[in-house]
Amino acid sequence: MAVVGGFSNVTKVPELRRRIGFTLMILAIYRVGVFITTPGVDRSVMRAVVGSQSGLLGLFNLFSGGAVANLSLFALGIMPYVSASIIMQLLGLVSKQVEELRKEGETGRRKLEQWTRYGAVALSIFQSFGVAMWLEGLNDQDVGGGRFADVVGNPGWAFRILTILTLTTGHALLMWMGEQATDRGIGNGTSMIILASIVSGIPGGVANYWSANAGDVQLLTVVMLLSILLGCVAIVVFFERAQRQIPIQYARRQVGRRVYGGQTAHLPLKVNMASMIPPIFASSLLMFPATLANFNLPGMSTFSAILNRGDWAFNVLFAVLIIFFSFFYTSVTFNPVDVADNLKKQQANIPGIRPGRHTAEYIDRVVTRITVGGSIYLAAICIIPSMVSQVFHVPFQFGGTSLIIVVGVALETTNQIEAHLITRSYEGLTGPQTTRLSGRRPA
């Protein structure tokens, strides 16, 4: 009952109601756009092509919420923006100008966001042209029953230019909607759009499983799948909440007659600092060879075909990229030297560790060790569910990437809702006895 009461408190905060309503409106507009097909494309033939393939194309269709199968206005999804973010992160390591903008606070952040938007539009133009060429190459496809059909009715430069304009405009609109949802809604807009894309495929996946078994559902298989799913959710929640707390001792100092400091605190370090970013980065990077293959670059067609199979080669490469991006993103977003300098300025130190360089080296060693465990967890949780779905022949994407995104976004959104409730003297979603916000105690 406490949980029900916590959810009922959501309707008592006008601002929270408006934010949730605005986010739902953005997601509804996005779902409508998924069914607006790009001009010149036969949707029924495109669905038959996507339905006959799995692996990378199925993963791309999952992240776009079925937009690839419809070849809709939002077929590119949010991935060009994600790729542009990756490029900006890489530029921060080699470009002094980008690094200086990061340190300028809000002004620098807005400038970098603007550059990221320009990069996303440029990438969407490049990918849209690749999609147009790929669609023309899908003509004369076998749609079953000895019948062949064309995906594109009138191939040529007119179709290519129209496809570039349509998909680029759709991506720009989707990027703007995500930013509006972040500013005026609840949760991160980009993450919410990806969440909606993944969740929207669940009913169709269940229907496909039912039709594939001709209504004869194997109860034992369903129970095992649900058990594995619940176990994976529990593991994701555990690792996303896991922290390594480093003890910190503040020095005692006297100001007049009053004594300050002397307290003991902790420096919390998340086991999975990169959160859901590495799987998204890895997925985005694995989709790139398919675009390059449409330009007839040497070796790209073979490489793209290997990835599209979704077998052990894809899983191994996917796991390696996740581990790499876990270390890379953590090193970019977390600087032990800055943390050590801040502790020194606050006259705080780690017991047994000298301030300054020794503290930075100690924090770096701790972060490296916990990142090893966090990256292995991410790789395992992204690969194992996909392997299980192949073993049980589940006719829809049962990937750990989508599971991490769904659980991670749900936890982040729940925290924001609880923060709104608590600042207005309401109990959180879990009631007065427990709370997801660390450090809070019931009255």
Q: Cα–Cα distance between 56 and 310 in angstroms, integer?
A: 7
pLDDT, tens digit (0-9, with 9 covering 90-100), for 31-63: 888 888 888 887 777 777 776 655 556 666 666
- Domains belonging to the chain, first-starting first, are 1-199 (1.10.3370.10), 212-398 (1.10.3370.10)
Q: Cα–Cα distance between 164 and 129 in angstroms, integer?
A: 6
pLDDT attached to residue 442: 45
pLDDT attached to residue 292: 66
pLDDT attached to residue 436: 45
Q: Cα–Cα distance between 175 and 165 in angstroms, integer?
A: 15
Report whether 339 contacts 273 (CB < 8 A). Answer: no
| Chain centroid offset of residue 51 CA | 24
**Region of residue 275 (phi > 0: left; psi between -120 and 50: alpha; otherwise: beta):** left
Contacts 24+ apart (CB under 8 A), 399-404: 399/59, 399/62, 400/232, 400/279, 401/59, 401/279, 401/280, 401/283, 402/62, 402/63, 402/198, 403/229, 403/232, 403/233, 403/236, 404/236, 404/276, 404/279, 404/378
The CA angle 291-314-220, to the nearest 5 degrees, is 125
Q: Cα–Cα distance between 171 and 169 in angstroms, integer?
A: 5
How long, in residues, is the chain? 443
pLDDT attached to residue 168: 93
pLDDT, tens digit (0-9, with 9 covering 90-100), for 258-302: 766 567 888 888 888 887 778 877 877 776 676 666 566 666 667
Q: Strand runs (DSSP E) across 375-418, as ranges? A: none
Q: Cα–Cα distance between 363 and 322 in angstroms, integer?
A: 23
Side chain identity at 213, as an amino acid letter?
Answer: N
Comparing 92-96, 170-174, 329-333, 389-393, the range with the smallest average pLDDT is 389-393
- Quote the pTM value: 0.72
Residue 441 burial (10 A CB sphere; 0-12, 13-18, 19+): exposed
